Structure 1
């Protein structure tokens, strides 16, 4: 029997871990030739998530858990689960049931057809705001343009299946800022996608606020491309040319019309504008320097406080 490892990061998900375990168990009750394990990764939860996981592990042998010493983030949590998974294939999914476990048999079917990575292409239900849908699609379009990865619209979900050979490659990657969605695309292998409609959160509230979304967006963009640095250089050159041409035209106009070169307000606006451009460029450079700073220290992506295997 082939073994499927299911990695589920959990941050304040005390109301969901039992539900998703039950639904996954029901799914595998219809899959005769497969056994499974669920690796929950408690990412520094402040509620009773860890207690619920310990209780589940005592009742069901297929339930494993990893408890972090603090909150390290969603991507390190998924990476930790992959590091300890030993199945023939590994499926990563969220604990809030927005990733439907009922899609697992179709993912396994595609894997058995010879695909090494089976990713999912998400469509949002009507309850999700238009702003959320549009900004998500716009982000992945932008990421495809200015980086070396090409994530399809809705293809940025962490709900995917990876063959054990792919997971072995992933384990050897020790990046300070992990962006697994991009890495799985960058690695290649044989890949295919499956469409699904995201479900509603079963209980609790999402901790993924706007600040975390922006940080995650910058991580994805800077993890796979130096094009923003080239963009900064191009902008600097372009605005310098505009400044020289504009000032030259202004001087010629002053000589022809015999007027003084004046304009305190326009001067201040120009200084502020170009100052802003310089700060943007310095910010882009600073992000890359910060990533180098974090990488060279070689700190671990996560610290484990406890585990049951």
Structure 2
């Protein structure tokens, strides 16, 4: 009989980023365990606690004491979802594939069997929502606009619409992904940037099991801004074109005023039109400076060369699978 000490590295790793998910983790882990046991593959789950303020750390520790295939990564503070996910992927040891899923049970663990079934001749199998009917009209509208804008602005990169982080990626795709170490990370874009053959699996997203989402509309706006500025310089070009068009219009208008003055004499300019022109041009300039500032700030952060995250504690109960 083969002992666990002689077994190879797990074939599959399941990476689960967690932020204040203590209310969901026990139910999530039970459902995940049942699904992964049916695959017939050796597997591990890597939980990443992203500076949670609830009992997430305690729950994961308790789960790890009862199982021998749990790795637990505790970050020193809250670094954000994208960095948290990167930390988990850095510590995933699956030799065949890695599965990414959130712990809030909006993405049903049972869909993992569909991802594995579709994992043939491709490197990425991503879960794509059939519809967004459970979202508010505003969220549906903003999601529709965001994905279409990203497709229009991204250079030779296609980000599948209505697709989150829930996916399965091959080991070679993961190794390629981990070679990208920029600090401002938009994971959906990075998944698309590395390329490799991919396939979609349609699924229905459930309601959140417990707790509240940490994403509000302000955070979603910043998330969209991060995605756009991380993968295209088109906003800089747009600012240039707007400035060029505004300058051209101002030149023609100035020429018109000069000719009119020479022919009809000088007339008193209207105060409202003058203020409108000043405010319009000032707004254009501030907008252009803001766009430039967004890109300059990202360059500044990259040049500091700080680590993406700091690990406070790493416990790997699945090391016996080495």
TM-score, length basis structure 2: 0.90
Alignment of 1:165 with 2:172, yes or no, is yes
* Aligned structure 1 segments of 4 or more residues deviating by more than 3 angstroms: 123-127, 247-259
Contact 1:124–1:133 (CA<8 Å) still a contact in 2?
no
Unaligned segments of structure 2, at least 5 residues: 1-7, 317-322
Q: 1:123 to 1:273 in 2, by over 3 A?
A: farther
Which 10-residue stretch deviates more, 140-149 or 257-266? 257-266
Which 10-residue stretch deviates more, 45-54 or 221-230? 221-230
Spell out the pairing of 1:64-83 with structure 2 (5 A cutoff).
64-83=71-90
Contact 1:44–1:67 (CA<8 Å) still a contact in 2?
yes
Alignment of 1:200 with 2:193, yes or no, is no
Contact 2:118–2:201 (CA<8 Å) still a contact in 1?
no
Give the equivalent residue in structure 2 for 1:61.
Answer: 68
Alignment of 1:85 with 2:75, yes or no, is no
Contact 1:69–1:304 (CA<8 Å) still a contact in 2?
yes
Spell out the pairing of 1:218-237 with structure 2 (5 A cutoff).
218-237=225-244
Give the paired residue count.
306
Which 10-residue stretch deviates more, 120-129 or 9-18? 120-129
Contact 2:13–2:98 (CA<8 Å) still a contact in 1?
yes
Contact 2:127–2:200 (CA<8 Å) still a contact in 1?
yes
- How far apart are 1:196 and its partner, in Å? 1.7
Unaligned segments of structure 1, at least 5 residues: none
Query: C-alpha offsets along residues 164-205 of structure 1, whole Å, 9 cap, x if unaligned?
Result: 111111222210111111011111111111122221000000
Give the equivalent residue in structure 1 for 2:302.
Answer: 295
CA distance in 1, matches of 2:131, 2:63: 31
**Alignment equivalent of 1:286, drawn from 275, 288, 293:** 293
CA distance in 2, matches of 1:123, 1:250: 58
Residue 281 of structure 2: SS of its match in structure 1? helix
Which 10-residue stretch deviates more, 46-55 or 203-212? 203-212
Give the equivalent residue in structure 2 for 1:42.
Answer: 49
Residue 195 of structure 1: SS of its match in structure 2? strand
- How far apart are 1:36 and its partner, in Å? 1.8
Give the equivalent residue in structure 2 for 1:105.
Answer: 113
Contact 1:251–1:261 (CA<8 Å) still a contact in 2?
no
Give the equivalent residue in structure 2 for 1:23.
Answer: 31
TM-score, length basis structure 1: 0.94
Alignment of 1:304 with 2:294, yes or no, is no
- How far apart are 1:150 and its partner, in Å? 1.6
Residue 195 of structure 2: SS of its match in structure 1? coil
Residue 42 of structure 2: SS of its match in structure 1? strand
